[in-house]
C-alpha cells in the first residue's frame, strides 16, 4: 500500500490489486469521540447518503448510480476505540471491464455527495431534515424493539461513560438535535477531522491522484493521536430489568486489560475463540449443545476497547444457571482446561477467517485502516504468523487478566420479580 500526504493529516492510501472487478474509494474522517456531537453526526450519515445539490431527489440519485452500473454508495458512522468515524464509500465497476472512464465519474460523484450537500442559507433543506428526523426516530424505535439490540445498547450505557457515549442516540437526543447542530457537525467534519482516503483496486496511481486533487481541496487538520480506549471498571454490577419479551436476553461484559497493541493480542484472540466465538467453543458446547439452556450464545472481543462481551438468549428461569456456567468457562481457560486438539482447531479457524478477509473489499479496507490507525505490525500476514506461534501457556497467561464487570439481564416479565 502506497501512502501520499495531501495536506497535514490528510493522506491518500493506494492499494493496488487485480483481485476485484470493482474499484472502491473510501473517505474516512476521524475525530475524538469527546470532541464530537454523535447525534448530529448520526443525522449526517442519513442526510449525506440520500441526496446532494447535484442529485436532489431519490430518483436523481438512482439515475446517477445506474450510469455507474449500479454502484454501491454508503455513508457509515462508526466508532473505534476513542475515535468517532464517518466513512463515505463508493464501489464502482472498473471502467476497463466495459471500456468506459468510470473512475472520473466515480470521483466526481463522491465529490458532489461530500462537498455539496443540500445546505441552503446555512441550513440543511428543511423538508429533508424533518424527514431524516422522523426516519431516525423510527430507526431507533425499531432497533429497541429487538430485545437483543436493546440489551446490548443498555449494557453499554450501564458499563461506563466511555461505552455509554458509543451507544445509539436516544429518541430524545434526536428530537433535541437542531438543524444548526447538524450543519455545525458537517463543517467540523470537513474542516477539522483528520482524513484517510483509500483507493482499492486496479488503477493508475497518477490518474487517481490527479482526479482527487482536482475534485477536492484539503486544508490542514490537527492530528488525532489517541485511538485505543482501554476500558476499566472498578466494581462488578448485576442489573436485571423487565420487559414484555418472549426470550430473556443476557449480556455479560468482561475487561481484558489488553488491546491490539499488546504482545498478547494473538493469545487473547485465540482465548476468546476457545471461549465463545466458534461452534467448537466452550460457551456453545457447554451451554447450548450439552444442556440446551440457551437459544443462542456467543462472545465477541473488541481489541480497540479491551472488552469481551457475551450475548445470549435464554428462558428467564435459567438465568442463574447460564450466568454461572459462563463464568465457569472463563475459569476453565484460566486453568488451561482445554485440549491441544481444541486449541489447534480454534487456531485453524482463526487463520481461515483472516485469510478469507483478504478476499473481500470491505474486510481488506478494514485491515488497511487498522494498519494506518495503529501500526504496520498488525499487517494480516504478521498477525497470522503470531497466531501460528501462540502457545497454550500464552493463552492461559493472557486470560488471567480477564475479569467480569457487568451482567445485564433483560428479563421476561413475570420472572424474578
pLDDT digits (tens, 9 = 90+) for 202-237: 999 999 999 999 999 999 999 988 999 999 999 999
C-alpha–C-alpha distance, residues 260 and 253, integer Å:
18
Alpha helices (runs of H) in 34-101, residue ranges in sequence order? 38-50, 58-66, 95-98
How far is it between the farthest Cα atoms of the chain? Answer: 68
pLDDT in tens, 38-64: 999 999 999 999 899 999 998 999 999
Report which DSSP code applies to 169. P
User: Residue 269 is inside which H or E element, if any?
Assistant: helix 265-272
Residue 409 in grid coordinates = 439481564
C-alpha–C-alpha distance, residues 301 and 159, integer Å:
15
Task: Identify the residue whose cell numbers are 439515475.
Answer: 63
Mean pLDDT over 151-166 rounds to 96
**Cβ-based neighbour number of residue 394 at 10 Å:** 18
Tell how many helices (H) and how many strands (E) occur in the chain. Answer: 17, 13
pLDDT in tens, 291-343: 999 999 999 999 899 999 999 999 999 999 999 999 999 999 999 999 999 99
Q: Is 207 helix (H, G, I), strand (E, B) or coil?
A: helix
- Give the chain's mean pLDDT: 95
pLDDT recorded at residue 379: 81
Nearest Cα residue to 226 out of 6, 34, 5: 34
C-alpha–C-alpha distance, residues 46 and 30, integer Å:
17
Residue 116 in grid coordinates = 455539496
C-alpha–C-alpha distance, residues 43 and 169, integer Å:
10
Residue 168 in grid coordinates = 445509539
Residue 150 in grid coordinates = 436493546
Q: What pairing do the DSSP bridges indicate for beta strands 119-120 and 123-124?
A: antiparallel
C-alpha–C-alpha distance, residues 125 and 131, integer Å:
10
pLDDT recorded at residue 381: 86
Q: Is pLDDT above 60 for 417?
A: no
Q: What percent of the chain has pLDDT over 90?
A: 91
Alpha helices (runs of H) in 116-217, residue ranges in sequence order? 126-145, 147-159, 161-164, 171-176, 179-191, 205-215
* 99, 107, 108 from 102: Cα distances, Å: 9, 9, 10
C-alpha–C-alpha distance, residues 266 and 398, integer Å:
9
Q: Is pLDDT above 70 for 416?
A: no
Name the residue ranges covered by the structural domains of the chain. 2-215, 237-412
Mean pLDDT over 395-417 rounds to 90
pLDDT recorded at residue 375: 76
What is 2-215's CATH number, 3.60.60.10, 3.30.830.10, 2.40.30.10, 3.30.70.600? 3.30.830.10
Mean pLDDT over 13-19 rounds to 96
Report the CATH fold assignment for 237-412.
Answer: Cytochrome Bc1 Complex; Chain A, domain 1 (3.30.830)
Q: Is 388 helix (H, G, I), strand (E, B) or coil?
A: helix
Is 237-412 in the same CATH topology as 2-215?
yes
Q: Note the pTM of the prediction, 2 decimals.
A: 0.93
Buried b / exposed e along 109-120 (16+ C-beta atoms within 10 A): bbbbbbeebbbe
Amino acid at each position: 500500500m502506497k501512502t501520499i500526504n495531501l495536506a497535514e493529516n490528510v493522506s491518500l492510501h493506494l492499494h493496488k490489486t487485480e483481485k476485484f472487478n470493482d474499484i472502491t474509494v473510501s473517505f474516512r474522517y476521524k475525530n475524538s469521540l469527546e470532541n464530537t456531537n454523535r447525534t448530529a453526526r448520526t443525522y449526517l450519515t442519513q442526510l449525506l447518503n440520500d441526496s446532494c445539490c447535484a442529485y436532489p431527489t431519490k430518483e436523481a440519485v438512482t439515475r446517477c448510480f445506474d450510469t455507474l452500473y449500479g454502484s454501491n454508495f454508503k455513508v457509515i458512522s462508526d466508532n473505534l476505540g476513542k475515535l468517532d468515524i464517518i466513512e463515505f464509500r463508493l464501489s464502482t465497476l472498473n471502467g476497463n471491464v466495459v471500456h468506459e472512464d468510470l473512475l472520473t465519474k466515480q470521483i466526481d460523484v463522491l465529490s458532489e455527495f461530500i462537498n455539496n450537500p443540500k445546505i441552503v442559507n446555512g441550513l440543511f433543506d428543511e423538508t429533508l431534515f424533518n424527514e431524516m428526523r422522523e426516519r431516525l426516530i423510527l430507526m431507533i424505535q425499531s432497533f429497541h424493539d429487538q430485545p437483543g439490540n436493546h440489551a446490548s445498547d443498555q449494557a453499554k450505557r450501564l458499563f461506563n461513560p466511555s461505552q455509554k457515549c458509543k451507544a445509539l442516540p436516544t429518541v430524545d437526543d434526536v428530537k433535541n438535535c437542531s438543524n444548526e447542530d447538524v450543519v455545525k457537525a458537517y463543517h467540523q467534519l470537513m474542516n477539522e477531522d483528520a482524513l484517510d482516503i483509500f483507493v482499492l483496486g486496479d488503477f493508475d496511481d497518477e490518474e487517481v491522484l490527479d482526479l482527487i486533487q482536482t475534485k477536492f481541496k484539503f486544508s490542514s487538520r490537527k492530528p488525532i493521536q489517541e485511538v485505543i480506549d482501554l476500558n476499566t471498571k472498578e466494581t462488578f454490577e448485576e442489573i436485571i430489568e423487565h420487559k414484555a419479551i418472549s426470550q430473556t436476553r443476557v449480556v455479560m461484559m468482561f475487561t481484558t486489560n489488553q488491546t491490539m497493541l499488546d504482545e498478547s493480542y494473538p493469545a487473547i484472540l485465540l482465548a476468546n475463540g476457545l471461549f465463545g466465538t466458534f461452534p467448537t467453543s466452550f460457551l456453545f458446547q457447554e451451554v447450548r449443545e450439552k444442556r440446551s439452556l440457551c437459544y443462542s450464545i456467543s462472545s465477541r472481543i473488541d481489541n480497540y476497547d479491551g472488552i469481551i462481551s457475551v450475548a445470549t438468549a435464554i428462558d428467564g428461569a435459567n438465568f442463574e444457571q447460564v450466568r454461572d456456567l459462563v463464568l465457569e468457562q472463563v475459569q476453565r481457560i484460566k486453568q488451561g482446561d482445554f485440549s491441544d486438539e481444541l486449541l489447534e482447531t480454534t487456531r485453524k479457524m482463526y487463520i481461515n477467517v483472516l485469510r478469507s478477509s483478504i478476499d473481500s473489499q470491505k474486510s481488506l479496507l478494514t485491515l488497511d485502516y487498522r494498519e494506518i490507525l495503529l501500526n504496520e505490525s498488525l499487517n494480516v500476514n504478521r498477525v497470522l504468523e503470531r497466531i501460528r506461534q501462540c502457545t497454550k501457556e500464552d493463552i492461559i497467561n493472557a486470560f488471567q487478566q480477564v475479569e467480569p464487570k457487568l451482567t445485564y439481564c433483560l428479563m421476561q416479565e413475570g420472572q424474578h420479580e
